[in-house]
Amino acid sequence: MCDSAPAAAKAGWYPTPVHGRERYWDGVRWTEMFRQAQAGAPRPIGEGVTSAASTWASSRGLGSGPVSD
């Protein structure tokens, strides 16, 4: 399983495919920490935010982690 990400990927909470949940990316790998998504918190476009599908794939070793522009 590949847990590394491009250096530009920022640590933070990212959406999961489970509605209303987020998982923490520590800047290197996915942690086992989950939380309820924060209501009303806007997500900046192009600043390390990924789609739920790519987050899901990454958490299963099918990708390299969050992608940022």
- Element containing residue 30 per DSSP (H, E): strand 30-36
- What's the pLDDT tens digit per position in 24-53? 999 999 999 999 998 765 454 444 545 555
CA 21/CA 31 separation, integer angstroms: 14
Q: How far is CA 3 from the centre of its chain?
A: 12
pLDDT bin (cut points 50, 70, 90) of residue 18 is confident
The answer to whether the predicted template modeling score (pTM) of the entire model surpasses 0.75 is no
CA 50/CA 44 separation, integer angstroms: 10
